[in-house]
Amino acid sequence: MCGIAGIMTAGGVPDEASLDRLAEALAHRGPDGRGRWVQGDVGMVQNRLSIIDLEGGKQPILDAQGRAIVANGEVYNYLELKSDMPGQAFATGSDCEPPLHLYAHQGTGFARSLRGMYAIAIHDPARQRLVLARDPFGIKPLYLAESHPGLAFASEPQALIAAGLAKPEIDPRARAELLQMQFTCGTDSIFKGIRRLAPGETVVAEGGCVQDSRILPALPAGAPQSGDLDRLLDELDEVLTESVDLHQRSDVPYGMFLSGGIDSSVVLALMARLNPKGVLAFTAGFPGTRAHDEREHARALARVTGADHVEVEFTEADFWSLLPRVAAAMDDPAADYACLPTFKLAAEASRQVKVILSGEGGDELFAGYGRYRHVMRPWPFAKPMRRKGTFDGIDVLRPGVTQGWRDRLAAVEREQARSGRSRLQRAQAVDCADWLPNDLLTKADRCLMANGIEGRVPFLDPVVAGFAFRLPDHLKVRKGLGKWLLRKWLETALPAAKPFDKKRGFTVPVAEWISNAPHLGKLVANQPAIQEICSPGTVQSLFGACGKDTGFACWTLLFYALWYRRHVQGILPQGDVFSELDN
């Protein structure tokens, strides 16, 4: 896991000072070393968090023809790739070297052979070409800023801004999406002039301009396929076991995040099977609040599996003290309150491990969300996903602020309607296109990398996806329960998980904490970010009545105000929420 960045000019040597600023802005992503490559019109930098081949895996890595690679992530099948290239000499034991040699043999289609999470940059001086590639699920981030002349890329948009290669100007449509849905859609980021590489995208640039782009899809094409239940359970066991085993390849200690839900329980069951010496599991809880506390159930699962269980309390004091730092870490914003416990769990985990496995992707691939059951209902009872935004019916925002907030999501829905997939598959694919990479995976990447931790997600594996996505709909959703086949497997693999018991949804009691601070509304209302989007006199009233129906709107404005201070106004956080907003 690392931070990468670089520049390709339209002619001439890249500016060394700009490369310095890029590297410095990404220092938190790689505390174990820094590398640089400058040749011709290309300059690349990399900050390394060393996980595999600790001594020999420094980047950039070069081949005999003078090509260079810098990469962020892990290629889990690197040993198998090496075996498939018997005549190839390898200079390192790094998992990031095989993609360089694959590129030499396969050209820009090299990513088809990779099984992992990655953002890769390859400079090919002989062809005067820069190739950028991102993994199909978008687990690892990569951003691109094109200007005249030249282009720049980085693992985080804030690095491009810090280097003076882009400006922190807000795109109103992306802001509308953030306010209404808690994340932004598509490849355009919230900053004008900075775009994400799409999940699975490979870009070819020459002369400082993008010349070609292709997409490697994460999900298989086609409608659901039928199958025998016993055979499918055996196959599920096989693909999950292999994926977790691959995701444990590491030369440093690793652990997992355990919520007690279905997905993390599956990961725990498999890690316990593969690690007879025991698993290190971290669980967050919210003492003294009305939020459901998952620690008791997680504690029971840890005891049954022999896991070493670390319980981490997230309190109201943590909320006020950590939120400015969390908002600062989330430069590509997602107003997902799960970023709060994720950030503190990562900080605690970093004391003992450098790698964490977690259950992201299980809901999307095995159909766990309640909204999937809604779209499966027969007409006219089916309900489209995200038909209502956070601020609908709340008279706070200025006219036009949320205009077009659902346009890009609707475009993905229309595209999926022509796919030949079932309604359930289409809903899953819509979530995999935007919600998954631009909320869940962005949250995990930023919160873990801010604490020097690599996050791994074994559900988001091409082999697992190939199996899960084409399961029959009735093996995903049955009798009002999502992830039915996964639950059925877990019933045998870890009976203590009680997978068919009714589960309580995960929540963070942000509304409860916000309602305990009666003067917070005035502080939020006075922020430039809020005055720009909210009607005068409405914000204090909203915060004064913060409750079940308005709590998420209050949280969203609070998060956005703190995010804007750091990433638009350029003010580094120094204190807690109150001192920041009162400054």
Q: Could you tell me if 329 and 273 lie in one domain?
A: yes
Catalytic residues: 2
Count of domains for the chain: 3
Please state, in angstroms and rounded to a whole number, the distance separating the CA atoms of residues 52 and 74. 9
Strands (E), 34-154: 34-39, 42-48, 61-62, 68-75, 116-124, 129-134, 143-146, 151-154
Please state, in angstroms and rounded to a whole number, the distance separating the CA atoms of residues 469 and 467. 6
Please state, in angstroms and rounded to a whole number, the distance separating the CA atoms of residues 287 and 294. 11
Structure tokens at 11: 């002619």
Q: Could you tell me if 82 and 200 lie in one domain?
A: yes
Does the annotation place 358 within a ligand binding site? yes
CATH number at residue 102: 3.60.20.10
The residues with which 310 forms a beta bridge, in sequence order, are 282
Beta strand 254-257 with 355-357 is parallel
Last residue of a domain, one of 497, 525, 542: 497
Query: Could you tell me how far CA 189 lies from the centroid of its own chain?
Result: 14
Q: Could you tell me if 492 and 514 lie in one domain?
A: no
- pLDDT at res. 292: 87
In a domain? residue 249: yes
Residue 52, helix vs strand vs coil: coil
Q: Could you tell me if 43 and 171 lie in one domain?
A: yes
Q: Could you tell me if 186 and 234 lie in one domain?
A: no
Going residue by residue through the chain, which has 583 residues, state the pLDDT in tens, using 9 for 90 and above: 689 999 999 989 999 999 999 999 999 999 989 999 999 999 999 999 989 888 888 999 999 999 999 999 999 999 999 999 998 999 999 999 999 999 999 999 999 999 999 999 999 999 999 999 999 999 999 999 998 779 999 999 999 999 999 999 999 999 999 999 999 999 999 999 999 999 999 999 999 999 999 999 999 999 999 999 999 999 999 999 999 999 999 999 999 999 989 999 999 999 999 998 899 999 999 999 999 889 999 999 999 999 999 999 999 999 999 999 999 999 999 999 999 999 999 999 999 999 999 999 999 999 999 999 999 988 888 888 999 999 999 999 999 999 999 999 999 999 999 899 999 999 999 999 999 999 999 999 999 999 999 999 999 999 999 999 999 999 999 999 999 999 999 999 999 999 999 877 789 999 999 999 999 999 999 999 999 999 999 999 999 999 989 999 999 999 999 999 999 999 999 999 999 999 8
Q: Give the residue ranges of DSSP H helices in 316-405.
A: 316-329, 339-349, 362-366, 370-375
In a domain? residue 517: yes
Q: Could you tell me if 170 and 282 lie in one domain?
A: no
Query: Could you tell me how far CA 235 lies from the centroid of its own chain?
Result: 27
Q: Could you tell me if 349 and 462 lie in one domain?
A: yes
CATH number at residue 239: 3.40.50.620
Q: Could you tell me if 465 and 514 lie in one domain?
A: no
- Amino acid identity, position 514: I
Range of the domain at 358: 229-369+437-497
The model carries a pTM of 0.97
Q: Could you tell me if 209 and 88 lie in one domain?
A: yes
- pLDDT at res. 347: 98
In a domain? residue 183: yes
- Report whether 500 contacts 488 (CB < 8 A): no
Strands (E), 406-521: 454-456
Does the annotation place 243 within a ligand binding site? no
- pLDDT at res. 1: 60
In a domain? residue 485: yes
- Report whether 213 contacts 200 (CB < 8 A): no
The H or E element spanning position 284 is strand 280-285
- Report whether 150 contacts 8 (CB < 8 A): yes
- pLDDT at res. 196: 98
Please state, in angstroms and rounded to a whole number, the distance separating the CA atoms of residues 512 and 514. 6
- pLDDT at res. 55: 84
In a domain? residue 393: no
In a domain? residue 282: yes
Please state, in angstroms and rounded to a whole number, the distance separating the CA atoms of residues 513 and 373. 32
Q: Which of 489, 505, 507 is nearest to 497 (CA)?
A: 489
Q: Could you tell me if 359 and 449 lie in one domain?
A: yes
The structure tokens 């003992």 sit at: 352
Q: Could you tell me if 186 and 248 lie in one domain?
A: no
- Report whether 454 contacts 354 (CB < 8 A): yes
Please state, in angstroms and rounded to a whole number, the distance separating the CA atoms of residues 369 and 385. 11
Q: Could you tell me if 174 and 285 lie in one domain?
A: no
Last residue of a domain, one of 471, 497, 523: 497
- pLDDT at res. 129: 98
Please state, in angstroms and rounded to a whole number, the distance separating the CA atoms of residues 100 and 58. 14
The structure tokens 């022509």 sit at: 418
Contacts of 172 (CB under 8 A, 6+ apart): 401, 403
Does the annotation place 265 within a ligand binding site? no
